[in-house]
Structure 1
Amino acid sequence: MPSSTRKRGKAAAGFRAAVLLAAAATLLLPLTGCSSLDTTAPSTARAHAATDAGAGAGAGADAKNAFGTVDCRRAKCVALTFDAGPSENSARLLDILKEEKVPATFFLLGKRHIEKYPELVTRMADEGHEVASHTWDHRILTRIEPDEIREELRRPNDAIERLTGRRPTLMRPPQGRTNETVHGICREMGLSEILWSVTAKDYTTDDSALIEKRVLQQVSRDGIILLHDIYPGTVPAVPGIIEALKERGYVLVTVPQLLAPGKAEPGKVYRP
């Protein structure tokens, strides 16, 4: 085996081990920390948007990207999101999304990811996907100092803006761990926090059929699906997930499309 392949394998194994160590805490999110958060549902964001003619025109622009305009007040929408890339699997994922004409939202890591695969970041933006932040080094934001939080958020934003010409307005906190300090810094930096309602726990398995089954068991209208394109079982599961969702009448959208004509507000936390 070439040394470069061994190194990639060790890096992936190390990241997987770190995620697995945190998995027990992460699985408690719906029952503990995040349940006490003041979160905004996509339907609430849409309902609070102005409905006069001027606002309507703006809403169409906000909801429009390379995949067209979607009105999730009428369509049965769901957002497909991917954390912790880009990775060596992301090019194939982008091929699948292009073939299926489906947009996604990518919450990217900086260290060892954005800096390693800059061409994939550019491709994500060029092909109409929403490019957002998952911090620079996946540090748990509730455990570090305010200046360290700012650095974790600033570095990927700077890198993404250099590559795409657009500064991210969305972020996803590692493990979904957030608090009032994080909210305040996000408000200061023009970022909204995006959580999720569906997780395949793909960090625990390489079984693509199981990943697909878990997603489809949990999904409902306005859902935000959390997947990780860094794991080998995830990308092969995506075609089946997309096909099944379309058969059920879902329209797959980016997170901004899901909220439109509402718009994610800095410092707020969004979760179905």
Structure 2
Amino acid sequence: MVNSKPKFVSLTFDDGPSPYTNQILDILGTYNIKATFFVVGEAVKNYPEIVKRINSQNHVIGNHTWNHPVITDIPAKELSSQIQKTSLVIKDIIGEEPIIFRAPYGKIDDHSFRVIQDSGMKSVLWTVDSLDWSLPEKKLIESRVLKNTMTDSIVLLHDGDKFGSGPRDATVHSIPNIIESLMQSGYFFLTIPEFHKQCFTIEKW
């Protein structure tokens, strides 16, 4: 019997916006794919026009703190401030606050999780780490993503070039082949809110 269950995947980008984000948006537009961008407040302040473009092209924007700290190492009051400050600067640009949050480095504990919940945010991690911040060639990034992606995967990539990520050229160049290969394998691309409606909750809400 043929399995008719749809295959879903969500592309997510962290640490932006940056000039690389525009290149990624161009590629996503070519394939008519929507993605989710977890943005850092400091970068939002520096590139408001890119944030407007992300929003105008119907991608989803999530909160990724103000300056990318390890949130398990900071007091609750500071984490709350990081979240609120970032959400407000996003709202000033696009008219609404994000409802999803991703912890830098994926480091989260019960203490920080409660702060995120109290801030009205839903915490989102990932299931496929591209390791694009450490892999120097696009083929290595492509191989890692395509090898590890399965039905209902959330893929972590980076459009920001700060916070230890470095230049994002290899990431940008890897995206077309990742998209085309996943399309050929029958995947449908969803934003994180769409993903949670269609698939399953990655962690408790």
TM-score normalised over the length of structure 2: 0.90
Match of 1:94 among 25, 29, 42: 25
Tell me the equivalent position of 1:252: 189
SS in 1 for 2:186: coil
2:178 partner letter: I
Task: Let me know the Cα RMSD of the aligned residues.
Answer: 1.9
1:107·1:134 contact (CA, 8 Å) conserved in 2? Answer: yes
Q: Residues 152 and 199 of structure 2 are in contact (CA less than 8 Å); yes or no, is this contact kept in structure 1?
A: no
Q: Which amino acid in structure 1 is aligned with residue 197 of structure 2?
A: A
Residue in structure 2 matching 1:199, options 123, 126, 129: 129
Correspondence 1:23-102 to 2 at 5 A: 74-102=5-33
Deviation at 1:261, TM superposition (A): 5.6
Aligned 1:154-233 pairs, distance under 5 A? 154-230=84-160, 231-233=168-170
Return closer, same or farther for 1:246/1:270 CA change in 2, 3 Å cut-off. farther
Match of 1:123 in 2: 53
Contact 1:139–1:152 at 8 Å: present in 2 too?
A: no
TM-score, length of structure 1 as denominator length: 0.68
1:240 counterpart residue number = 177
Structure of larger gyration radius? 1
Show structure 1 runs of 5+ residues with no match.
Answer: 1-72
Percent identical: 33
Residues matched between the structures, number = 195
Structure 2: how far apart are the matches of 1:148 and 1:126?
A: 31
Task: Give the AA of the match of 1:129.
Answer: H
Q: What is the CA-CA distance between 1:95 and the residue it aligns to? A: 0.7
Between the aligned partners of 1:170 and 1:258, the Cα distance in structure 2 is 12
Give the 3-state SS of the residue equivalent to 2:91 in structure 1.
helix
- Structure 1 stretches of 4+ with a deviation exceeding 2 A read 261-264, 268-271
SS of match in other structure, 1:163: helix
SS in structure 2 at match of 1:89: helix
The alignment partner of 2:9 has SS state of strand
One-letter amino acid matched to 1:144: I
**How far is the alpha carbon of 1:262 from its aligned partner?**
8.0
Distance 1:270 1:227 in 2: 23
- Give a deviation string over 1:55-84, Cα, whole Å, max 9, x none: xxxxxxxxxxxxxxxxxx952110000000
Shift of 1:232: 2.0
The 1-side partners of 2:151 and 2:96 are apart by: 29
Match of 1:66 in 2: none
**Distance in 2 between the 1:263 and 1:158 partners?**
29
